[in-house]
């Protein structure tokens, strides 16, 4: 899956987390290739009981992709076990250099490795979500649980701060891990995300999975591309 051709033609690829020093750009693209390093992406977990912090076996690290992919490449590996209603596992990244208090439209393309074929619970009930918001997304204590401080929705539904790109299901009867790509480009059911910067000209990008599957889940994020344009 690729972004619309007109975007590819006019967008310059930038590697810095700061998009502009003079806040005058109208359209920019950043590709975060997570092979060499995490490039400032951090992560956390939410929607699990505080008492289950150990049994959920939560981990985030830079790791080599599974051997069956035959690719000598690293990615951000995130894993956890869902023993309750659902488990949210997410990565986040701050983008600066935007106009303060301005509206931007954001298109994501996310590449990840999944071992969850379609047609089984693991492939059909783990939902990939993305968002672009003005505040840092965090897991906070809420009674007996860790919950998000943003509105990400629940399970297969999105919220005011995140949209659903689909499941992490690969193909039917797939064996081992497969690379998949998901996007909210103009050909998808969610053609864009509207993000509003804070008074410092910052947006927080968030990519995560909302899992309704009971059991262990491990996925590898290989790259995240975002196209950010000022909303007219």
62-72 burial string, b = 16+ CB within 10 Å, else e?
Answer: eeebbeebebe
pLDDT, one tens digit for every residue, the chain (232 residues): 433 323 332 333 333 344 543 444 567 899 999 998 899 999 999 999 999 999 999 999 999 999 999 788 999 999 999 998 899 999 999 999 999 999 999 999 999 999 999 999 999 999 999 999 999 999 999 999 999 999 999 999 999 999 999 999 999 988 899 999 999 976 566 667 999 999 999 999 999 999 999 999 999 999 999 999 987 6
C-alpha distances (whole Å) from 30 to each of 38, 39, 229 are 14, 12, 12
**Nearest-10 Cα torsion for 21, 23, 27, 29:** 40
> Which of 25, 204, 51, 24 is CA-nearest to residue 132?
204
Cβ proximity of 93 and 87 under 8 Å: no
Cβ proximity of 85 and 46 under 8 Å: no
């Amino acid at each position: 899956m690729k972004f619309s051709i007109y975007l590819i033609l006019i967008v310059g690829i930038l590697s810095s987390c700061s998009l502009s020093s003079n806040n005058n750009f109208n359209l920019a693209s950043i590709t975060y290739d997570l092979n060499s390093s995490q490039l400032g992406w951090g992560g956390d977990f939410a929607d699990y009981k505080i008492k289950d912090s150990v049994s959920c076996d939560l981990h985030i690290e830079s790791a080599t992709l599974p051997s069956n992919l035959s690719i000598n490449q690293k990615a951000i590996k995130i894993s956890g076990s869902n023993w309750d209603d659902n488990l949210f596992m997410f990565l986040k990244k701050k983008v600066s250099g935007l106009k303060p208090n301005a509206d931007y439209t954001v298109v994501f393309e996310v590449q990840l490795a999944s071992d969850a074929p379609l047609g089984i619970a693991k492939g059909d009930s783990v939902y990939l979500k993305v968002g672009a918001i003005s505040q840092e997304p965090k897991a906070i204590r809420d009674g007996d649980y860790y919950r998000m401080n943003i509105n990400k929705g629940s399970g297969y539904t999105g919220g005011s701060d995140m949209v659903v790109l689909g499941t992490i299901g690969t193909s039917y009867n797939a064996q081992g891990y497969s690379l998949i790509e998901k996007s909210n480009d103009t050909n998808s059911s969610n053609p864009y995300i509207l993000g509003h910067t804070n008074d410092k000209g910052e947006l927080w990008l968030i990519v995560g999975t909302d899992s309704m599957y009971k059991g262990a889940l491990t996925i590898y994020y290989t790259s995240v591309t975002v196209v950010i344009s000022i909303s007219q």
